[in-house]
Structures are given as C-alpha cells and as structure tokens.
Amino acid sequence: MSQTAELISYEPATGAELWRSKHGDVDELVDRARRAWPAWASEPLSRRIELVRRFAIQVEKDQEAFAELIARETGKPIWEARTEVAAVIGKVDISIRAYSERTGQRKLDSALQGSAALRHKPHGVMAVLGPYNFPAHLPNGHIIPALIAGNAIVFKPSEKTPAVGQKLVSYFAKAGIPEDLVQCLIGGPDEGKALVAHRGVDGVLFTGSAQVGIAINRKLATDPGKIVALEMGGNNPIVLWDTPKMEDAAALIIQSAFTTAGQRCTAGRRLIVKSSMYDEAVSAVKTLANRIIVDEPFAEPQPFMGCVIDNNTADQLTESFLYLLSNGGKAVSHMRRPVDDRPFLSPAIIDVTGMKERPDVELFGPLLQVVKVDDFDEAIAEANNTRFGLSASLIGGEPQQYNRFWANIRAGIVNWNRPTNGASSAAPFGGIGFSGNHRPAAYYAADYCAYPVTSTEVDQPRASVGVGFREA
C-alpha cells in the first residue's frame, strides 16, 4: 500500500480518464473516525435524523450531475443511473423507519420495582466496503443506517468507481455532518484489507464478491468483537413453467438476466425450463434479447444495456462463454464484442443442459445459461444446485407449484412471476450460503448497525437482604 500511489478512474464506455487521486491513509482516517464518533453517538436521535434528511436534500439538489457521474464511471445508461440516485434518496426515510421498528427503544415488563428497558447502542467505527455495480446505492445502504444508529463510517469504494464514492461522501459534509464522521478511503484491495483488520474498526459492512467476502470472514474469524455483514453474489435460478403468457415471461427473464448488463447480484443467471415448452421459450427469449440496444450511457435512442465495467471483465466473460461452449454448451445467442477495445458485450444465451459439470460460479455479466428439465422436482433440484442462495423466481406455474417452490428453494429472495432482481429497500435483502452470512441488508440493515442493551433502572438503591444472613 502506498499513500503516494495514485488511483485513476477511466470511463469504461469511452476509455477517457475521468478522475484521479492519491490513495488514502487507513490509520489516519480510522483515527479521525474514532475521535468523532462519541459526540455523534451522544447526539439525540432526532438530531441525527435531521442531518441525514439534509443529506437527502443535498443529493436531490445535485441529482442530475450525480447520475451523470454514475453513468460515466460505471458505463450504465443514464436512465438507470437516475434510478440509482433515487434509491440513494429513498434510503433515508426507509432507514429512519427501520431504525425505530427494528432497533428502537422499548419498555420491558419487569418483575422488579422500577423499570426495565431495551435500547440500542452503536458499535463505533464501521468500515463500509462497496462494489462497483451500484457504487452509490449499495454502500449508502450501509452508511445511512449506520449513521442513524450513531456510528462513524470509513467507506472504501471500489477501486473501479472511486469518483462516485468520493462524491457520495461529499453530500454528507454539505449536509453539515462532521467530515470525520463519514470519510472516503481511496484505494484498492490493500487498503480494504488494512481497513478490515484495523484495531480501531468495530464492524465491517461488505458488499461484493463471495471470494472477497469469504476472505474477510476468514480474516476476522479470530476477532469475534467485530460485527461482520457480508452481502455477496448469486448464481440465481429462474424456473419457467406452464404459462400462456410467453411474451411477458420472456420480458421478465430478459429483465432478470440483462438489466445493468447482468451486473447485479440478483441477476437471473440460470433459466430452468420445462422441456415441453423449451423451443417456444428459448425462441421468445432469444428474439427479445436480439432487440436489446447496447450503447454508451448518453446515446439516443437510450440503450437498455451499457458496457460492463472494464475490458478485463469483458475478456473474462468472453472466456467463460467460450469455456461453456467448448465443454458441452450450445450457443443460443453468442457473446459478441461490438466495439473494439471497449467492454460492450451483446446479451449471450447458452444451453448448458448437456454439460457434465456446470461451474457453480457467478458470471457477473450479460450471460444467461439455460437448462432443460422434465418435471417440477427436477426443476427445484436444479435451482438449488448451487452454493449461492440470493434470489430465485418461478415464472408461470400454478399456486400449488409456487407453494412448493417457495418452501423448497434455498434463497433469501423468492419471487413468483416477478424478476429475480429489483428488490425493494423496504424489505430485508440478503442471501444464504455463498451469498451472505445471515445479516441481511436494506430494511434489516438496522440490525447490524446497533447492538441491544437491556437495563433495569431504579432512581435510588432499594434492596434488603433475605435468606442466609445472621441477625444484625
């Protein structure tokens, strides 16, 4: 780790340099955060709420410029970047509600004289590590609940989207929140590792790949005092069963697999189809996929899909497609690179039914694998044939089949006739297995941002000794 080294961010869609800055100093930022948090934790909740509301106002004032920066740094279409900014703003009211519902204060029934209460305290300094696909909304989904609960935050954005991370943090300062309370640590995995292991950090709130999340979990195995929330990837199934509405079904499948160029943890990766409807289904999905416009973020007409995050990622996805193809997969729609030297990819579909062993990895891009099955039990077994467990959808089928699907699928999000993605911030959001460590985010983020404290309280000492004492 070198503090003099510079991090440079390039716009993936054009290759132009967007931003550069020196790497941050982990010790310095954590030290500042440690000194800042006791005063923040002692502020009344109403004051903390007032300041995070002011943050939302600052973002709202600058929403178009913020959306443009997100679109430039990620390559996602501007319409989609605007929805990310709306989610950043919407997070504030939802988190205020969640704090009072999940971790507020309650009086408890007490057999003792006096009163008993359940209250919550902040952990202290929280490290937030963010991914590149939602560089504002997802880290913000940790930062806002952590702030409301009274924590200080050191946020390390992805090294692929540092400009958005820095901008997000600037709105907290503009809102009048002390600068040392929410700081942005510029850097890559080295800074991430140092932050996670730092003695001055009380909790690690991570959104990113399973590989890194598991490494963090291992690293902190001997440090039980640190709270760790891991929001990781998925290898999410869509089961397509009997439906008279094939066009609608195809639209849901396309939305699941290819929104954000497939760079969503909740993207539908595996389409599991009843064999009797395979031809019709695959043809409908392929036809719609062929109509997807892939282009630069500000192009007109607006594209549905932008590029993936960088050339290296596009190369790896192309290699994964070729691997599937040369190991028994049959191409439905090939993965193409329409622009030389830029990470645009066409939506790819491949039938992997004939593969002897299907790799259970998250292919984080516009690549949908199709598996043909004969009966519903086989479909459920195939859907569960993964170490991940984030999101799953049944499209079509009867209510009894959905009941079986819901009961048997191992995932944190189970939908019927809805896409696998587009989860609501007003509900818990998390998965099992390689997708998370049972600390769901979104509405339940409040749970990991504060710990419960039970108190029995009487205004004067009042006690007398009982059995087992000699007369005075």
Ligand X SMILES: O=C(O)CCC(=O)N[C@@H](CCC(=O)O)C(=O)O
Q: Which residues are catalytic?
A: 231
Q: Return the residues of window 261-280 that contact ligand NAI according to CB under 6 A.
A: 265
From 101-109, 239-247, 365-373, 418-426, span contacting ligand X (CB under 6 A): 418-426
**In the block, residue with structure tokens 């948090």:** 37
154, 127 Cβ separation under 8 angstroms: yes
> Any contact of residue 197 with ligand NAI (CB under 6 A)?
no
> Any contact of residue 232 with ligand NAI (CB under 6 A)?
yes
Say how far apart CA 467 and CA 80 lie, in whole Å.
Answer: 71
437, 230 Cβ separation under 8 angstroms: yes
Sequence-distant (6+) residues with CB within 8 A of 339 are none
> Any contact of residue 232 with ligand X (CB under 6 A)?
no
> Any contact of residue 93 with ligand X (CB under 6 A)?
no
Of positions 24, 77, 130, 262, contacts ligand NAI by CB under 6 A: 130
> Any contact of residue 255 with ligand X (CB under 6 A)?
no
Task: State the minimum distance, in angstroms, from the CB of residue 465 to ligand NAI.
Answer: 54
435, 389 Cβ separation under 8 angstroms: yes
| Cα 20 versus chain centre, distance | 25
DSSP per-residue string spanning 393-417: EEES--HHHHHHHHHH--SSEEEES
Cβ-count burial 429-452 (b if 16+ within 10 Å, e if not): bbbbbbbbbebbbbbbbbbbbbee
Of positions 12, 75, 131, 396, contacts ligand NAI by CB under 6 A: 131
> Any contact of residue 156 with ligand NAI (CB under 6 A)?
yes
Task: State the minimum distance, in angstroms, from the CB of residue 379 to ligand NAI.
Answer: 24
What is the x/- site pattern for ligand NAI, positions 396-435, by CB under 6 A? ----------------------------------------
Say how far apart CA 422 and CA 87 lie, in whole Å.
Answer: 11
Closer by beta carbon to ligand X, 352 or else 441: 441
CA angle 278, 322, 389 (to 5 degrees): 60
Dihedral pair phi/psi, residue 46, rounded to 5°: -60, -35
Write out the H or E segment, with its range, that includes residue 78: helix 78-103
What residue spans of 133-277 are helical by DSSP H?
137-149, 162-174, 189-197, 210-219, 246-258
From 150-158, 221-229, 263-271, 374-382, span contacting ligand X (CB under 6 A): 263-271
> Any contact of residue 272 with ligand X (CB under 6 A)?
no
Closer by beta carbon to ligand NAI, 216 or else 324: 216
Say how far apart CA 140 and CA 78 lie, in whole Å.
Answer: 19
What DSSP designation does 265 have? T
Q: Tell which residue, 152, 200, 179, 196, has the closest CA to residue 38.
A: 152
Look up residue 212 and give its amino acid.
V
Of positions 18, 41, 215, 414, contacts ligand NAI by CB under 6 A: 215
> Any contact of residue 207 with ligand NAI (CB under 6 A)?
yes
Closer by beta carbon to ligand X, 353 or else 425: 425
From 145-153, 189-197, 280-288, 400-408, span contacting ligand NAI (CB under 6 A): 189-197
> Any contact of residue 208 with ligand NAI (CB under 6 A)?
yes
> Any contact of residue 441 with ligand X (CB under 6 A)?
yes
Of positions 73, 80, 296, 362, contacts ligand NAI by CB under 6 A: 362
Q: Tell which residue, 295, 298, 392, 410, has the closest CA to residue 344.
A: 295
> Any contact of residue 303 with ligand NAI (CB under 6 A)?
no
Q: Tell which residue, 31, 11, 9, has the closest CA to residue 19.
A: 9
**In the block, residue with structure tokens 């959306």:** 67
Task: State the minimum distance, in angstroms, from the CB of residue 34 to ligand X.
Answer: 27
From 221-229, 296-304, 347-355, 422-430, span contacting ligand X (CB under 6 A): 422-430
What is the x/- site pattern for ligand X, positions 138-167, by CB under 6 A? ---x--------------------------
First to last CA, the chain: 69
Task: State the minimum distance, in angstroms, from the CB of residue 415 to ligand NAI.
Answer: 16
Q: Which residues make up the interface to ligand X (CB under 6 A)?
A: 133-134, 141, 264-266, 421-423, 425, 429, 441-442
Q: Which residues make up the interface to ligand NAI (CB under 6 A)?
A: 129-134, 138, 156, 158-159, 188-189, 192-193, 196, 207-209, 212, 215-216, 231-233, 265, 362, 364, 441
